[in-house]
Chain A
Amino acid sequence: GQQLNQSPQSMFIQEGEDVSMNCTSSSIFNTWLWYKQDPGEGPVLLIALYKAGELTSNGRLTAQFGITRKDSFLNISASIPSDVGIYFCAGQRGTGNQFYFGTGTSLTVIP
């Protein structure tokens, strides 16, 4: 099945540093979603993107819909300990109902 390539797989950073992660696919997507998952909980939606080139912010988080429509990026500025968790990207192709998920980026913030 379709899986999105998400990188890096894990990150260990100092509190206050900025974070960048990305998601790539060989297919074109029409929608990109970014989620955060805390241990023992369900994924929580952070940002939704609908157009190529779109740049959307949610507090310290900024995500971009790649202009090729085959990738998306998530940046976190000035990381804090509560940013710890696993971040997932999800993409939708065409007008279908299926979303495909990346394998996640595990973020650890060292105080």
Chain B
Amino acid sequence: NAGVTQTPKFQVLKTGQSMTLQCAQDMNHNSMYWYRQDPGMGLRLIYYSASEGTTDKGEVPNGYNVSRLNKREFSLRLESAAPSQTSVYFCAGRAANTGELFFGEGSRLTVL
């Protein structure tokens, strides 16, 4: 039982490149989330998926797209990376019975 698993853990991109952050959970969560964490800003919601087949924008969705591939997987895509997207990205799953959020270990992205 790995919980919430994110890949890759580290990535360096050049401005304009694209990439996809992968997230998979084995906790049978219906809802999944992508957050970004910047110094002094706490965690800000990018997108979330309340259930398989649905996605919704959070506070800071610009420059990102998401796909809820199936119940287990929720990916975050940067189509044309910008230096402002340098951040640590966290995926989370939400337990249906308690409402608690469980986080992955993070993906550290640097855009040059």
A residues near B (Cβ < 8 Å) are 1-4, 6, 31, 33, 35, 40-45, 48, 50, 88, 90, 92, 97-104
Contacts and interface: CB of A to CB of B under 8 A. Distances in A.
Contacts, number: 58
Given A97-B31, A97-B50, A97-B56, A43 B45 contact: no
Given A1-B59, A42-B90, A43-B90, A99 B45 contact: yes
Interface in B23-70: 31, 33, 35, 40-45, 48, 50, 56, 58-60
A91 B42 CA distance: 13
Interface of B: 4, 31, 33, 35, 40-45, 48, 50, 56, 58-60, 90, 94, 98-106
A9 B26 CA distance: 34
3 closest Cβ pairs, A-B complex? A1-B59, A42-B103, A101-B43
B99 A103 contact: no
A24 B33 CA distance: 23
